[in-house]
């Protein structure tokens, strides 16, 4: 993913990514690879940076939360 600006360690357990376009992605503590694959799929489908997303909360693997501007 070439649009990441900053990776922030949260509570010495998990990561938040801040992307170009002011999108914040909250990764889960475990199984973050699956969450990153989901983000990559959104990006490849051209749905990540064209949807006016403010934040994607991927911490719950059963349900993802999206906040729009």
At 29-68, the pLDDT tens digits run 999 999 999 988 988 887 777 788 899 999 998 999 999 9
Q: What per-residue confidence (pLDDT) applies to 52?
A: 86
CA dihedral 33, 36, 38, 43 (to 10 degrees): -150
No. of helices (H) and no. of strands (E), the chain: 1, 5
Residue 23, pLDDT above cutoff 60: yes
- The pTM of this model reads 0.83
Reported as type and span, the H/E element at residue 65 is: strand 65-68
Distance CA 12, CA 22 (A): 23
Residue 20 has a pLDDT of 83
57 bridge partner residues: 26, 65
Question: Structural domain tally of the chain?
Answer: 1
**Calpha distance 47→8 (Å, rounded):** 24
What pLDDT score does 2 carry? Answer: 61
Domain enclosing residue 17, as ranges: 4-68
What's the confidence (pLDDT) of residue 37?
A: 93
């Amino acid at each position: 993913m070439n649009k990441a600006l900053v990776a922030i360690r949260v509570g010495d357990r998990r990561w938040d990514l801040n992307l170009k376009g002011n999108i914040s992605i909250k990764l889960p503590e475990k199984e973050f690879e699956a969450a990153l694959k989901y983000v990559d799929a959104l990006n490849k489908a051209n749905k990540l940076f064209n949807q006016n997303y403010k934040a994607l909360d991927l911490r719950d693997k059963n349900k993802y939360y999206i906040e729009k501007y």
